[in-house]
Amino acid sequence: MVATPNPPAAVVLTAGRLHESYAKVAHGLIRETDRYTIVGVVDARSAGQDAGEVLDGTHRNIPVAATIAELVSVAAQPPEWAIIGVATHGGHLTPTLRDAAKDALQAGLSVVAGVHDYLCDVPELADLAAEKGLTLVDLRKPPPRSELHFWTGAIHDVPAPRLAVLGTDCAVGKRTTTRMLLHALGDAGTHAEMVATGQTGWLQGVAHSFVLDSVPNDFVSGELEHAVLSCWEATKPEIILLEGQSALRNPSGPCGSELLLSGAAKGAILQHAPGRPWFDGCEAVDARIPAVADEISLIAHYGSNVLGVCLNGENMTDAELRAEQQRLDGELDVPVVAPLLDGVERLVAPLRRYINDHTIGGTPA
């Protein structure tokens, strides 16, 4: 993680969608971040509540207000930044989010966003930021070509095994599970590090990261390899956890094979939302998410083994989620857990066995 002394205070803009999965950026920041101190959320629909309680019932002393002005009046410290906390379908900067960014600038806050429509390309926002001496940060703006890396194969010299946290769809909790595994392994005495591949990981302060979907396709594998190499050289962990994006078979954005092939991850954790029948945004074409066992088989064809399955309870009651967990636990040959109900501690033992079996040249220093 990025060790930021006295991280700057920030508010998160969710435009009435804090309660939805599309606010996954906000959800990650509400749970934890080392890059910012989150002092509130601007969301008219959930105003007056605590953001943690809206998210998962846990009070985190992060107030939700209808406007930035209201939030500033109740925040524990004056914010310096506003973060767009919604990942819209297609990464668009919607008119509502554009207006929220404008309100933030008018209130004297710099703005950071992880959407594909860049803030700096909106004249109204760019002019206002320049006028007020504020900063616009577009996390999905591609790095200059001179800074990109091409895959070399050097990753095969990294002794620490890689574990890919994949999903059967996008926005099913891959990053949250990755961080939970990171903490659980650490609590068990195992030195694990994470390579983040999305904007939220960067916002949370993950030191070794890149925003995968902002990188030209020819360089995705190289950027992944570079992040793994940098992580190994800097920290010498026993295992490196690779955060997945989208899904192997999501037709609107297939992704994940890079982690298995270019990242040489021989082990995987599979995240699944059993209450979601279709790939996100693909309901109209009846593109259905495959069965978990079928996805495990596909991953095996890549030469990697699924070591455990994690369930997301979207669209399900706790009782329904528990029943599905028990059904899959009896059907599959790997442990099945519901991280937000029980944590991920059941996965620590198989992951430690994986480390012992796949470390190159003995235990990492």
* CA-to-CA separations, 35 to 77, 81, 169, 174, 322, in angstroms, rounded: 16, 11, 27, 20, 35
The per-residue pLDDT for 85 is: 97
Claim to verify: residue 154 and residue 133 sit in the same structural domain? no
Domain extent at residue 329: 147-358
Claim to verify: residue 125 and residue 162 sit in the same structural domain? no
Claim to verify: residue 204 and residue 329 sit in the same structural domain? yes
Band of pLDDT at residue 365, cut at 50, 70 and 90: very low
CATH number assigned to the domain comprising residue 115: 3.40.50.720
From CA 75, how far away is CA 62, in angstroms rounded?
A: 8
Provide the β-strand partners of residue 238: none
Residue 363 lies in a domain: no
The per-residue pLDDT for 3 is: 53
CATH number assigned to the domain comprising residue 155: 3.40.50.300
Q: What are phi and psi of 202, to 5 degrees?
A: -65, -45
Q: String of b and e for 331-342 (b: at least 16 CB within 10 Å)? A: ebebbbbbbbee
Question: What Rg, from alpha-carbon coordinates, does the chain have?
Answer: 20
Claim to verify: residue 204 and residue 269 sit in the same structural domain? yes
pLDDT tens digits for range 254-304: 999 999 999 999 999 999 999 999 999 899 999 999 999 999 999 999 999
From CA 250, how far away is CA 257, in angstroms rounded?
A: 12
Q: What are phi and psi of 138, to 5 degrees?
A: -110, 100
Residue 238 lies in a domain: yes
Residue 348 lies in a domain: yes
pLDDT tens digits for range 173-229: 999 999 999 999 999 999 999 999 999 999 999 999 999 989 999 999 999 999 999
Claim to verify: residue 175 and residue 120 sit in the same structural domain? no
Largest Cα span, the chain? 62
Domain boundary among 79, 105, 138: 138
Amino acid at 144: P
Residue 3 lies in a domain: no
Claim to verify: residue 116 and residue 83 sit in the same structural domain? yes
Claim to verify: residue 161 and residue 279 sit in the same structural domain? yes
* CA-to-CA separations, 354 to 91, 243, 307, in angstroms, rounded: 36, 17, 8
Residue 295 lies in a domain: yes
Claim to verify: residue 192 and residue 334 sit in the same structural domain? yes
Amino acid at 297: S
**233 is written with which tokens?**
């050289």
The per-residue pLDDT for 4 is: 62
Claim to verify: residue 279 and residue 298 sit in the same structural domain? yes
Residue 119 lies in a domain: yes
Residue 364 lies in a domain: no
Degrees, nearest 5: CA angle 364-362-174: 55
Claim to verify: residue 154 and residue 226 sit in the same structural domain? yes
Domain boundary among 83, 111, 138: 138
Amino acid at 71: L
* CA-to-CA separations, 163 to 2, 216, 241, 362, in angstroms, rounded: 21, 24, 5, 17
Claim to verify: residue 151 and residue 294 sit in the same structural domain? yes
Claim to verify: residue 38 and residue 81 sit in the same structural domain? yes
Is the Cα dihedral 163, 344, 172, 312 positive or negative? Answer: positive
**Count of CB atoms within 10 A of residue 266's CB?**
18
Total domains in the fold of the chain = 2
The per-residue pLDDT for 5 is: 73
Residue 42 lies in a domain: yes
Residue 363 has pLDDT above 60, yes or no: no
Coil, helix or strand at residue 171: coil
